[in-house]
Amino acid sequence: MTPWNFALDFKEFILDFTYLSLFLIVGTIFRRYIPFFRNFLIPNNIIAGFAALILGPQILGALWRALGLPSFGVVPLDSDRLGIYVYHLLAITFISMGLRKEKRKSGKGPLSKAMSCIMSYVLQATVGLLIAFALIYTVKPDLFPGIGYLVTMGFGMGPGLAYSIGQGWEQYGFTGGGQVGLTFAAIGYLFAFFGGIALIRWGIRKGKLKTIRSMNEITYDMQTGIIHKEHHEKQSAGKLTMAQEAIDSMSFQLALIGTVYLATYGVTKLLAGWLPPDLANTLWSFHFMIGILLSILTRAFLDRIGKSYMIDEGLMNRINGIAIDYLVVAAIAAISIPVLSLYWFPITLMSLFGGVGTVLILYWLSYRAYDDYPFERFVSVFAEMTGTINSSLTLIRVMDPHFKTVIAEDSIIGSAITIGLAFPMLFLLNIPTMFFADNLLKGYWISIGSILAYTLLLLIFWRAIGYLKFRKQLD
């Protein structure tokens, strides 16, 4: 069954929206008034997600049932329904990214950032898969090998993709694959912010940061997450592109996203109709890729005919941000405690070695691939490769409060390049389930070998154009 076949009651949908909204308010209050969250700059959506998980039926509800108490105060959020929201919000975030601005040429910074992301993906996937192989050949022969790939899905590619791919693998025997992907994503967020802030503090002590000298330079607004009323010059959220008496500008941006998503559904359904059932279900897990391709084509067409002025980048960014906030809350709240208890050992091993490996490879690359601010760029890529681009931008703002450097711009452009370079990897990750369903272990060995060969080609290209040096360039 694909997420499109999931029966959803409208009342349940509205109540889920109100509960997720409530927890976003709770997260905002916690970030504002609890020093722990301020000091580590934990985003409101992550606080909200864990609050929803704790107050939901799996933790508070289970405690109440064990004590024989009524379920008053337990938020009736369902993991399966929340997973469906994550699936659809993933497509919306990708489509809004594809529509929001005309593509620009990139230089060394963005390309090196994208290549660093690819190397991080490969390391996470290799570490995860090797640990899975080790467990399968020793103490857990029934472990689904694809769990190793969910490290890079959850850490490097985000909760939406981790859920979508993991859920698609459930048809091949991966019990709770979608929830396992969400668990890796939640752990990745903890690495991104707790680890990212720890790295910044270490960089300040060692004199490696060139943009700030002390954590005291972080503004109070940045710490609390609220722009206070004394600050009258607030940043604009977007600009109007439509006459208000005709249609609201935000409505038009949403309508454009909705139209592209409708086209995504139509194209995916058409392609799925030509494929065997197993491959068709896999294709539905990759609907976001069709979505971003259609959104990029739509933007290019509007640019070509001179009509792209109707799209406002600021409003598209707001829609993207809204989708990400609700996606993150839903993703963390959807984590299944029974599934987590089933896979706690491999998840712990893969997260630990994957997280440490990500730090080491990105630190090594940053001092050999950039001409400026190597440590700042290292932290920003680390935050994205364990969280999301929003995690990266948050820590960039900590290190570069006034965006005096081009790191943030390079990070955004580099993310777009990363998507293109990662497309072949996403196909290679699914080789075992598409072509070796009768011998998954053989398929995964072929898959990781193919990924490493593709990575070697990219590495040779990166070195050949002179953007990567094998000796340390900066300090």
Q: State the Cα–Cα distance between residues 27 and 33, nearest whole angstrom.
A: 10
Q: State the Cα–Cα distance between residues 184 and 153, nearest whole angstrom.
A: 8
CA angle 348, 44, 166 (to 5 degrees): 40
Beta-carbon contacts of 349 under 8 Å, excluding residues fewer than 6 positions away, are 131, 135
The tokens for 235 are 């940043």
The 3-class secondary structure across 437-472, one letter per residue, is CCCHHHHHHHHHHHHHHHHHHHHHHHHHCCCCCCCC
pLDDT score recorded for residue 249: 93
Q: State the Cα–Cα distance between residues 194 and 208, nearest whole angstrom.
A: 19
Question: pLDDT tens digits for the chain (475 residues)?
Answer: 567 767 677 888 999 999 999 999 999 999 999 998 888 878 898 899 999 999 988 888 888 888 887 777 778 888 888 888 988 988 898 888 888 765 555 567 788 898 999 999 999 999 999 999 999 999 999 999 999 999 998 998 888 888 888 988 888 889 899 999 999 999 998 999 899 889 998 998 888 888 877 777 677 777 787 877 765 567 778 888 998 889 999 999 999 999 999 999 999 999 888 877 766 777 777 787 788 889 989 999 999 999 999 999 889 988 988 998 998 899 889 888 888 889 999 999 999 999 999 999 999 999 888 888 889 999 999 999 998 877 888 888 788 876 678 887 788 778 778 878 888 888 888 888 877 777 888 999 999 999 999 999 999 998 888 877 877 765 5
pLDDT score recorded for residue 474: 59
Q: State the Cα–Cα distance between residues 62 and 45, nearest whole angstrom.
A: 24
pLDDT score recorded for residue 231: 58
- pTM for this one? 0.83
pLDDT score recorded for residue 227: 77
SS3 312: coil
- Tokens 């710490």, residue located: 223
